[in-house]
Amino acid sequence: MAGRGPCRLNSIGFGTWAWGNEFVWGYDSKTDDGRLAATFRQALSSGLNLIDTADSYGTGRLNGRSESLLGGFIDALPASRRSQLVVATKLAPFPWRLGRRGFHRAFDASQKRLGGHLKRVQLHWSTARYAPWQEAALLDGLADLVQAQQVDELGVSNVGPRRLRWMQARLMERGVKLRSVQIQWSLLSPGLAQAQEVLDLAQSLDIEVLAYSPLAFGVLSCAPAEAPRPSTWVRQRLFRRLLPESLEIRQLLLAIATERGASMVQVALNWCRATGTTPIPGIRTPSQAMDVAAALTWQLSESECSVLNQARERCIARMPSNPFQSR
């Protein structure tokens, strides 16, 4: 299971799903945008360089908001700092995005919102479960963008080992490297066996694994004595269920954090790093950015990893599976 091997050091990025999302994250432009700009600046000055977004983060009147906020923040940076960033977006294979050129307009729109600073394009999920005939064409279309040097790198997301193997082989035939795969990965993530297969396969194929929702939507940041009430009903419901079920894991996170003079969040992120993944936690405040980056200054011991792995296997608390996850 996770963490069998020796603890290894990976980097940490950050995610921006909440930057424009009302339904899950209660985004409000009036109150949030200034704080998000400060969060972005703090994240960068703390040394976080990998930024994850998606063209579906912000819908309706907020269409593309995460990307456009990021584009504005990146534009304000000196060119030398901009060139150090890996800005990665995900394009959603909506049913109306058809065929090999199906993503091209979406790609141009994302690139425009991001001020031309996009470095990696990622397939947000595979269509294998509902429109398998689309999968090769859409992937080929993304590879075309890399080969035409419109973007540097290509990644995928929410794929299981079978799709990952197939995608990597197809891209390799084209001479395009599959740079990364994103999966839900945390002490409370679901589908442990399949996720571990993805980790093992990705490692053997030299594909970086980005761990999304590494804090289980913030549940893993809550001290055992705390009972926070998030602002949206989606997270309230999740916290009501997961806080009691995850008590033992959160007690362990707190114990290790206290011993280390660190935060529970740093312990949860360093568990992800110890499993060979690169966590991309969602951050919304400058102090969260600083705290997340502080995890880069230390690593878990093998015995700390092993205690957490055992608790994880005993724990009944599981985050909901992503409905777009394929095999």
- As annotated, the active-site residues are 57
Position among 182, 189, 246, 270 found at the interface with ligand NAP (CB under 6 A): 182
Site for ligand NAP in 64-93 (CB under 6 A): 90
Secondary-structure breakdown of the chain: helix, strand, coil percentages, each rounded to the nearest 5? 50, 10, 40
Beta carbon of residue 107, minimum distance to ligand NAP (angstroms, whole number): 17
Closest to ligand NAP by CB, 228 or 244: 228
Question: CA 28, CA 14: separation in Å to the nearest integer?
Answer: 20
CB atoms within 10 A of CB 132: 11
Closest C-alpha among 178, 181, 180 to residue 195: 181
Closest to ligand NAP by CB, 51 or 176: 51
CB atoms within 10 A of CB 175: 9
Question: CA 301, CA 9: separation in Å to the nearest integer?
Answer: 11
Beta carbon of residue 27, minimum distance to ligand NAP (angstroms, whole number): 10
Site for ligand NAP in 213-242 (CB under 6 A): 213-218, 221, 230
Question: CA 303, CA 299: separation in Å to the nearest integer?
Answer: 12
Degrees, nearest 5: CA angle 170-171-174: 100
Beta carbon of residue 67, minimum distance to ligand NAP (angstroms, whole number): 11
Closest to ligand NAP by CB, 38 or 101: 38
Q: Is the Cβ–Cβ distance between 289 and 39 less than 8 Å?
A: yes
Q: What size, in residues, is the chain?
A: 327
Beta carbon of residue 169, minimum distance to ligand NAP (angstroms, whole number): 22
Beta carbon of residue 127, minimum distance to ligand NAP (angstroms, whole number): 14
Stretch that binds ligand NAP, among 12-20, 70-78, 141-149, 240-248 (CB under 6 A): 12-20
> Helices 161-174 and 132-147: crossing angle, nearest 10°?
40
Q: How many residues bind ligand NAP (CB under 6 A)?
A: 28
| Dihedral sign for Cα atoms in the order 267, 269, 270, 271 | positive
Closest to ligand NAP by CB, 126 or 157: 157
Stretch that binds ligand NAP, among 4-12, 236-244, 277-285, 297-305 (CB under 6 A): 277-285
127 binds ligand NAP (CB under 6 A): no
**Where on the chain is the footprint of ligand NAP (CB under 6 A)?**
15-18, 52, 90, 157-158, 182, 212-218, 221, 230, 265, 280-284, 288, 291-292, 322
